[in-house]
């Protein structure tokens, strides 16, 4: 289902995408991966990082934007890293079973993913994964994922999940992530050993790859050079991943520019430490809301902005 402010267009390598527009802001969603590849403010500035070397070549995942990690985060299981949702062609959902947004001007699109025969062999469960991508007033971008267990054999299933969001930043050395201080985290660079965050904010001086546990609903990413802050608001997603590959890992990735690590940071709303378990007919909802405010507007309350 798609609203009037949504257009279907040909994207990279002939892959189909949907373009959402609202009040001068825009977002682009590829049917391949259910993948948000672009989010722009009213000035036309790109807010998501997309690698200049990103491959729009199935079954390769798209490097940047908002890849969806489902039904497995990273290598925490027997599936390929980050699962298969980001490598599948999604369909437009003709019956999303969700009311339209209350704001009449919001642009939105509803997509659906059901397991293929090959998916079922690797992950032997029936499910329906519905995704709504919505661009609302002031350019607020909201992704709502709903996963339902449609197994007919009475069996529950479990999964881990992340919205692997790549934010565009001016200079990683000038970026601070706030809202995760004092939390326990698993350090992916040290065999997922558990530590406690000691700093008053996360700053970047080298490779960083951490899973913050029981993270608050609101996280802020401060970009000092551009004097702006991304607000990440998450529901149904208790964890938060923070990642920057730095120089050596950047050079080792064929679909990532050698110097591009300086201009991106991943802050990912996730459910990792405690996998989500669904009994038949049960449904899980995980929501991500992204918005942008000037740095001067960010205080301890991390208020939702009213202007992008």
The residues that are catalytic are: 164, 268
How many other C-beta atoms lie within 10 A of the C-beta of residue 171? 13
Q: Tens digits of per-residue pLDDT, 164-221? A: 999 999 999 999 999 999 999 999 999 999 999 999 999 999 999 999 999 999 999 9
* CA 146 to chain CA mean position, Å: 14
34, 276, 106, 294 alpha-carbon torsion, rounded to 10° = -100
d(CA 285, CA 292): 24
3-state secondary structure 252-285: HCCCCCCCHHHHEEEEEEEEEEEEEEECCCCEEE
Per-residue pLDDT of the chain (308 residues; tens, 9 = 90+): 444 589 999 999 999 999 999 999 999 999 999 999 999 999 999 999 999 999 999 999 999 999 999 999 999 999 999 999 999 999 999 999 899 888 888 999 999 999 999 999 999 999 999 999 999 999 999 999 999 999 999 999 999 999 999 999 999 999 999 999 999 999 999 999 999 999 999 999 999 999 999 999 999 999 999 999 999 999 999 999 999 999 999 999 999 999 999 999 999 999 999 999 999 999 999 999 999 998 765 554 455 444 44
Count CA atoms within 13 Å of residue 144 on its CB side.
15
């Amino acid at each position: 289902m798609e609203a009037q402010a949504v257009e279907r267009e040909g994207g990279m390598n002939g892959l189909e995408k949907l373009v959402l527009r609202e009040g001068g802001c825009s977002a682009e969603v590829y049917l391949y991966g259910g993948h948000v590849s672009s989010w722009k403010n009213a000035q036309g500035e790109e807010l998501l990082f997309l690698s200049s070397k990103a491959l729009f070549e199935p079954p390769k995942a798209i490097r940047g934007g908002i890849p969806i990690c489902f039904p497995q985060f990273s290598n925490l299981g027997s599936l390929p890293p980050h699962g298969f949702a980001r490598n599948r062609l999604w369909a437009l959902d003709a019956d999303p079973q969700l009311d339209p947004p209350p704001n009449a001007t919001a642009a939105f699109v509803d997509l659906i993913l059901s397991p293929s025969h090959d998916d079922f062999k690797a992950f032997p469960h029936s499910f329906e994964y519905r995704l709504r991508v919505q661009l609302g007033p002031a350019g607020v971008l909201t992704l709502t994922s709903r996963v339902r267990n449609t197994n007919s054999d009475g069996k529950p299933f479990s999964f881990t999940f992340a919205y692997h969001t790549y934010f565009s930043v001016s200079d990683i050395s000038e970026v601070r992530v706030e809202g995760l201080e004092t939390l326990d985290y698993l350090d992916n660079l040290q065999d997922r050993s558990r530590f406690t965050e000691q700093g008053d904010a996360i700053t970047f001086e080298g490779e960083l790859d951490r899973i913050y546990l029981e993270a608050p609903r609101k996280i802020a990413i401060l970009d000092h050079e551009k004097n702006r802050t991304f607000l990440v608001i998450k529901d149904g997603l208790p964890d938060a991943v923070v990642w920057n590959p730095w120089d050596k890992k950047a050079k080792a990735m064929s679909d990532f520019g050698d110097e591009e690590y300086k201009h991106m940071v991943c802050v990912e709303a996730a459910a990792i430490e405690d996998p989500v378990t669904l009994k038949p007919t049960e449904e899980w909802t995980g929501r991500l809301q992204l918005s942008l405010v000037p740095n001067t507007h960010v205080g301890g309350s991390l208020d939702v902005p009213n202007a992008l």
